[in-house]
Amino acid sequence: MSIYQELKDSFKFGSTLTKLLYINIIAFISFKLVFVFFWATGNDAQFPFSRWLCAPAYFPSLLYKPWTVITYMFYHEDFLHIAFNMLGLYWFGKLFLDFLNKRQLVGIYLLGGISGYILFSLGYYFIPALQEHLLGARILGASAAVFAILSAVAFYRPNYTIYLMFIGPAKLKYIALVYILLDVLMMASGNAGGHISHLGGVLFGWLFALQYSKGRDVTNGINGIIDYMVTMLKPRKNLKVSHKKPSNDLDYNLIKNKEQKDIDSILEKISKAGYESLSKDEKEKLFNMSKKK
């Protein structure tokens, strides 16, 4: 089996977490290859990925490229950026799937990323130190989505204990608290917008856990949209129905006798236990035979 086929099969048959990891990594490699091509031809400045894939803090700019609210979560500019985000997605995603399901993982990834963008943009509108940078600020990377996943599982199972290298046992609520505290403390030391977006992801994770504990799943809406889009994009197959005629009178009589026995058996079951006792297949068979009659 070729390497390409192995990778294709691992994506096709892999878990939802595997697919999210693959999408991010494939996007990173693809963008880098295109960038290298344009750089080699001396036209790198003519292919500004960040302008079309990163989400702008300035809301009017977003109206011209609304897709960036989604694409920014899958765009990373350098190796360390994607490496740390994918490690976090893998660790926290595995932990998440121990308690919740794969559909919720996708929903929280997307909605957590959107929540991160919203808080990021609001920060540039309302924090005085950031207002002068509003027009040029853009967000990229999966970190807000990853923080949403960590936050969701941490607030859903706060007292669950995991064992950390060099530290030992630690409850999820304390791990989440350390991450939140670090983001707040590092906000003024650079990449303020990134740290604010992390807190937006944390807020959505908390909201999910709060609502889910009350029996409401806030990811149902976006998962419904995803299901609809997948259904619409699937190629529709034209079904061709053919009826094979019996080759001779003997075959014909055998088929008719088999059908009659089936009907007699169904009718006998109805007389003993009523129509509702029939299985779905039996009801369908009875309906089809009545049409033939």
Q: Decide: 49 and 36 in contact? Cβ < 8 Å.
A: no
- Reported as a pLDDT band with limits 50, 70 and 90, residue 82 is very high
Q: What is the mean pLDDT of residues 269-291?
A: 71
CA distances (Å), 158 to each of 28, 71, 155, 161, 260, in order?
33, 31, 5, 8, 63
For residue 158, the model assigns a pLDDT of 93
For residue 91, the model assigns a pLDDT of 92
pLDDT tens, position by position, 111-158 = 999 999 999 999 999 999 999 999 999 999 999 999 999 999 999 999
Distance CA 178, CA 182 (A): 6
For residue 236, the model assigns a pLDDT of 66
Q: What is the mean pLDDT of residues 87-104?
A: 93
The pLDDT mean for the chain works out to 85
pLDDT tens, position by position, 39-66 = 888 776 556 667 889 999 999 999 999 9
More confident residue, 29 or 15: 29
For residue 19, the model assigns a pLDDT of 92
Q: What is the mean pLDDT of residues 79-90?
A: 94
Q: What is the mean pLDDT of residues 216-237?
A: 80
More confident residue, 9 or 115: 115
Q: What is the mean pLDDT of residues 92-121?
A: 94
Q: Which DSSP string corresponds to 245-262? A: PPSSHHHHHHHHHHHHHH
Here the tokens at position 69 are: 């609210």
pLDDT tens, position by position, 176-212 = 999 999 999 998 888 899 999 999 999 999 999 999 9
- Reported as a pLDDT band with limits 50, 70 and 90, residue 235 is low
Q: Decide: 82 and 28 in contact? Cβ < 8 Å.
A: yes
